Amino acid sequence: MQSSRRSSWLQWLVLCTTTRIHLIKAQTAVSTLLVPDTNTILAINLPPDSGDVNFYISTPDWYQYTAIGFGSSMAEALMLVMYASADGKRVTVSPRLSRGGTEPVWTPNVRIAVHASSINDNSDMTVNATCNGCRALAQDLPSIKTSAATPMMFAIGPSLVLNSDDLDARIRRHSAYGRFTMDLVKATGPRGIGFDAIGNVSSSSSTALEGDAFHRDDDKAVTAHGILYAIVALAVAPFDSLVAGVLGSKGAGAWVHGVTASVYFAFVIGAMVPGVIVSRQHVATQQFRTGHQVLGLLTIVAMAVMFLWGIALSWIKRSAKKRGREPPESTQRLATVHRWVCRLIWALLLVNVGLGMQLSGQRLVLILAYVALALGLVVVLVPVYFCIWRCSKRQQEKEEGPHELTIYDHNYR
């Protein structure tokens, strides 16, 4: 008697509990993320007894892309990168993977079914899609764990236009990103993602990504690389040429030119380092095959050779002087080669800064401003160099009269 009473009481309890669970389940099972800084809302629903992930996102289209990642680091997360389609009316949803802090590349092993996507006049992109079987992908792919605090990532691209249907379109490093956790247990349930009476996505759990958790990520390496090379091409290189031209290559002049050339060379090597770092982050530049990179590396090699060439020349001259002799006649030819190759290097630097600006997607106005500045500099400096050359030649003729020329470097004094 006693035991049967207890069992019926237990039955009631079980019945009540399951009814309650059913009531909760009949409500929404959607977790949402708000990113106030980018006016983004992301909603996720995991249908029960399925490997699918339903997601809905509303985000502005003024970034190159908006991306979400399921995981705590890029190397271990499936990322969904979303950007405007070629016609600018729909959204391309590209599942991607990355080997670490590098540009993620499209994986054909993940299937996304886009139910609806649009971009409205207000520049809002919306996507309603399902990532098929994404909670348990193949063994070598990251899977999505269902927990009350599933680690996730969010990122937006720089403000560049991409507009592409290509799932493997090249993208740039994010300009802001953040990590957060989502309650995917509360997101598990039937009925997908729906809207409430006032048209908002209804959610059973919501979280926000804001404040310090959402980091700006200016690409400092790109900026440093660009600014340093602009200084080299527009100031350091022409200054070194002026020094070499005005002070000549004898005595103290040779020393001053040695110092300016060393500073110049150090600048060029130092400015290359951030360029190499950036190159390794992006698929398009990882092989060092773009025109800008090839020209840059060739220029640096030529410069290293000319740097040693200059040192060798001054050493030959110095040791000849020590022995009280004139340096061999061939040094003059070597000096002429040194001078002209260095002028060519300067021209290549000027051109390559422009190519770099183009490669990094700078605005056309900025590129044109640079071209105008570079051309202006050339127009001003070429006559100056010519004058220096003429003056020093005349002076040298006066001094030496009919004597055989014994001069080997930048000018004839």
C-beta of residue 294 within 8 angstroms of C-beta of residue 367: no
**What span, in angstroms and rounded, lies between the C-alpha atoms of 314 and 404?**
20
* In contact, 68 and 78? CB cutoff 8 Å: no
Q: How far is the CB of 40 from ligand NAG (least distance, A)?
A: 12
Half-sphere exposure of 42 (CA within 13 A, CB side): 25
Q: Which residues contact 118 (CB under 8 A, 6 or more apart)?
A: 89, 90, 91, 125, 126
Minimum distance, C-beta of residue 129 to ligand NAG, in the bound complex (Å):
8
**For ligand NAG, the closer CB: 31 or 285:** 31
- Listed residue (216, 358, 360) closest to 278, CA to CA: 360
Query: Min. distance of Cβ 70 from ligand NAG in angstroms?
Result: 19
Min dist. Cβ of residue 52 to ligand NAG (A): 11
What track of x and - describes contact with ligand NAG for positions 251 through 290 (by CB under 6 A)?
Answer: ----------------------------------------
- Complex with ligand NAG: residue 163 or 202, whichever CB lies closer: 202
- Which among 356, 348, 352 has a CA at the least distance from the CA of 221? 356
What residues from 312 to 341 belong to the interface with ligand NAG (CB under 6 A)? none
- Judged by CB under 6 A, the residue of 32, 94, 117, 128 near ligand NAG is 128
240 burial via Cβ count (<10 Å: 0-12, 13-18, 19+): buried
Give the shortest CB-153-to-ligand NAG separation in angstroms.
Answer: 22
- 177-216 footprint of ligand NAG as x/- string (CB under 6 A): ---------------xxx---x-x----------------
Q: Are 288 and 294 in contact (CB under 8 A)?
A: yes
In whole angstroms, give the CA distance from residue 214 to residue 176: 7
Q: Which is nearer to ligand NAG, 208 or 382 (CB)?
A: 208
55 binds ligand NAG (CB under 6 A): no
Tell me whether strands 66-70 and 150-156 are parallel, antiparallel or unpaired. antiparallel
Which is nearer to ligand NAG, 190 or 291 (by Cβ)? 190
Minimum Å gap between C-beta 214 and ligand NAG is 18
Task: Please identify, using beta-carbon distances, which residue of 28 and 285 lies nearer to ligand NAG.
Answer: 28
Instruction: Report in angstroms how near the CB of residue 200 gets to ligand NAG at its nearest.
Output: 4
Q: Render the burial of 356-379: b for 16+ CB within 10 Å, e for the rest.
A: bbebbebeeeebeebeeebeebee
Nearer to ligand NAG, 34 or 377 (CB): 34
The site string for ligand NAG over 135-174 (x = CB under 6 A, - otherwise) reads ----------------------------------------
How far is Cα 351 from Cα 348, in angstroms, rounded to an integer? Answer: 5
From candidates 20, 111, 115, 363, binder to ligand NAG by CB under 6 A: 115
* Nearest CB to ligand NAG, comparing residues 82 and 233: 82
What gap in Å lies between CA 82 and CA 316, rounded to an integer? Answer: 63
CB of 298 to ligand NAG, least distance (A): 54
Q: Is the dihedral of CA 369, 370, 376, 379 positive or negative?
A: negative
| Identity of the residue, 129 or 278, whose beta carbon is nearer to ligand NAG in the bound complex | 129
The torsion angles phi and psi of 343, rounded to 5 degrees, stand at -65, -40
CB of 347 to ligand NAG, least distance (A): 56
Helices 220-231 + 251-281 axis angle, to 10: 150
Instruction: Give least dist CB 192 to ligand NAG, A.
Output: 5
Q: Is residue 60 exposed (0-12), middle (13-18) or buried (19+ Cβ within 10 Å)?
A: middle
Determine the size of the site formed for ligand NAG (CB under 6 A): 8
CB of 162 or CB of 193, closer to ligand NAG: 193
56 binds ligand NAG (CB under 6 A): yes
Chain residues binding ligand NAG by CB under 6 A are: 56, 115, 128, 192-194, 198, 200
